[in-house]
A and B are shown apart, each in its own frame.
Chain A
Amino acid sequence: MSESIGRTLRDGALEGELAPTLTIKDSLSSPFAFHVFSHILLQLSSRITTQNSQSRGIVVVALSRSPAYYIALLKTKGFDVASSNNWIHILDCYTDPLGWKEKIRKPSNVTDPSHQIPLATSSYKTVKDIDKLFSVITELGRGLVGDSKARFSVAIDSLSELLRHASLQSVAALVGNLRSHEQISCIFGLLHSDLHEEKAAAVLEYMSSMVASVDPFHHSVNGQRGYLGNSVSEQNFTKGKFNVRSKRRNGRVRVTCEEFKVELGGISFSNVSSVDGTTTAALVPKVQFNLQLSEKELIDRAKVVLPFEHQGNGKPIQIYDGRRSLEESNSETTHNSSVKKEGDIGEIIYFRDSDDEMPDSDEDPDDDLDI
């Protein structure tokens, strides 16, 4: 499914439609949304550099990581950072989001770190002003791809951080404006869903055509939050489930599930492995009793004939009906079982006692009993 996300983002927006939007959400019990985010960023970057996608450039709105981090990320993945100025631009909302440093450093004129960085960055110092942020993003994008019909992508590295600085309405308006901008090819953003009210996550999910959620393999039972609330299992720190919900134009919703694994080189995705004994054994927390059935137990269980299930398969019915002794009925059924079976089974003979008893009356038939 990570493949199909990549394809959708590559193909970009259709004429007269909103740009495809991806929200990547996670929670503290499996905090790997950023790994997914950088995976998608790198994938899209390599497609842009090989001119294999609709978008010709990418604007990264960096709120939770420094521009230097992104440069290091691109470098490790073998991108030529020196020539990247024509396709990537980082809008630095991380270093000085509220303008404190500017105020302090103005007189002393300390070197601005963005000058030493080989990548095109611009700093943004009034994060609370979301309207301005929109115009800055679109300006930067236009600077990358020119004023023509070419489109660019927007990556927002933490919608959570934006939501902390501004109201939900203004963040939603920003996403909406970006989606309907005619030069934007696709948008993807990251959300830590447990930091916000459910409505915030829901609003952003409504506004995105794809939602990728990073979930742990097993949730904590007692509903506690955070790392330590979980029965800390090492499994949750390297692996997890990757659920993708994508909405088509016609309203069809497709949900797929994959597994991801965080390794030294990054994140990798795989189809949900067939449940074999060893993985299940490894995933289930160590308890003294057995939660899972073994292969043999499953087969044995399938063989068990439930009460009444055997009726009608040619064997004699061995239920004592209160009228004959068991022995009698046994002898009888063995005599003419085939004849009896046809007529008797499934027949209910009922005589109404009198006319004043309503059919199917729901009064208690035993209420005259004196117990």
Chain B
Amino acid sequence: MEHTNLNLLDEALGLHNINNKLWPLCGRFILVEDSVDTTASFVLHHIIKRSLSSHPSSSVIFLSFSHPFSHYDRILRKLGCNLAAQRDNSRFFFIDMLMLQCPDEGKNNHDGLAVIFEKVERVINTLHPDNKKFLTIMIDDISLLEVVANGSSNAVLDFLHYCHTLTSEFGCALVALDHKDIYSNDERPALILELEYLADILVNAEPLATGLAKDVHGQLMVLDKGSQHEHGISSHKIHNFHFKIKENSIEYFYPGTITMS
């Protein structure tokens, strides 16, 4: 990874720590939350790009419930990453879930999501054991996963728990996108709260708190809850910054430091 290209998001996610030659997100669960006004899918794209370029044998398993492969391919191409080539090299595994629907309501929900998990497992089994810790599993997005599970948030949590067990088993990273505002009416939105408990890093994209602006498209808050490693627990870190989505890249900057061009 070239040091020159590191931006605020990399820093907030801890991607600048490459001294131990490990994928910095390994073994961690990154939850990305966004809202209707501000979509955070660019964070996913960014992590795809970084994880594919972090190590020659790194790989990504992408569970897509929202867009076809060509969509991501076009976006990543603009960011300078050829997904189609990576797919042919067996480094980008695209699992298309667009047409998936669990057969019946009731007990079969669990089986339906177990089938998805089985697909993920099968892909992992094809990987070389040493490369498993450079793996990133990405889910786009959880709200559509819930639709697939016929609205059973418990089934979704079971599925995510199983994905989470993979992070501790193989040391792979888990990245999931969810829309926070669809739970805003619930008295106790157990799903999103449970995910926030589970997450190691929380990325939250919101529209600019002070209202719409031409040069700032939104604000990101990255909360690193710290991880428990051999030196004990590292502490919480919060990063707040603004972003602007450009044609081929995203610009990240601290509030008030935008450079007019």
Contacts and interface: CB of A to CB of B under 8 A. Distances in A.
Interface of A: 28, 31, 35, 65-66, 68-69, 72-73, 76, 94-98, 100-101, 103-105, 108, 110, 113, 164, 192, 194-197, 225-228, 232, 234, 237-238, 262-266
Given A28-B193, A103-B114, A228-B204, A238 B158 contact: no
A264 B235 contact: yes
Given A28-B193, A100-B114, A101-B121, A237 B238 contact: yes
A72 B230 contact: yes
20 contacts: A65-B168, A69-B168, A76-B232, A94-B168, A95-B169, A97-B161, A100-B114, A103-B114, A104-B118, A110-B125, A194-B188, A195-B190, A227-B223, A228-B202, A228-B204, A228-B221, A234-B236, A238-B236, A262-B235, A264-B231
Interface string B181-200: 00000001110111011000
Given A95-B165, A104-B121, A237-B238, 13 more contacts: A66-B165, A69-B228, A98-B114, A100-B117, A104-B118, A104-B122, A113-B169, A164-B194, A192-B193, A192-B197, A197-B188, A225-B189, A228-B204
Contacts of A100: 114, 117-118, 162
Contacts of A68: 168
B233 A234 contact: no
Contacts of B236: 234, 237-238
B157 interface: yes
Instruction: Choose among A103, A164, A234 the residue with the greatest number of B CB atoms under 10 Å from its CB.
Output: A164
Contacts of A228: 33, 202, 204, 206, 221
A35 B196 contact: no
B234 interface: yes
Given A95-B169, A98-B158, A266-B232, A28 B238 contact: no
A68 B165 CA distance: 11
Interface residues of B, number: 39
A66 B235 contact: no
B110 interface: yes
Q: What 7 pairs between A and B have smallest CB-CB spacing? A: A237-B236, A66-B168, A264-B232, A265-B232, A100-B114, A104-B118, A104-B121
Interface of B: 33, 110, 114, 117-118, 121-122, 125, 154, 157-158, 161-162, 165, 168-169, 188-190, 192-194, 196-197, 202, 204, 206, 221, 223, 225, 228, 230-236, 238
Contacts of A65: 168
Contacts of A28: 193, 196-197
Contacts of B235: 237-238, 262-264
B218 to A, nearest CB: 14
A194 B165 contact: no
A68 B196 CA distance: 22
Given A227-B202, A264-B233, A265-B232, A101 B192 contact: no
Contacts of B231: 264
A164 B154 contact: yes
A74 to B, nearest CB: 12
B125 A195 contact: no
B114 A226 contact: no
A142 to B, nearest CB: 28
Given A104-B118, A110-B125, A237-B235, A76 B230 contact: yes
A1 to B, nearest CB: 22
A226 B192 contact: yes
B194 A94 contact: no
B221 to A, nearest CB: 7
A233 to B, nearest CB: 9
A71 to B, nearest CB: 11
Contacts of A98: 110, 114, 158, 162
Given A194-B193, A226-B192, A226-B193, A66 B204 contact: no
Given A76-B232, A234-B238, A164 B196 contact: no
A266 B233 CA distance: 6
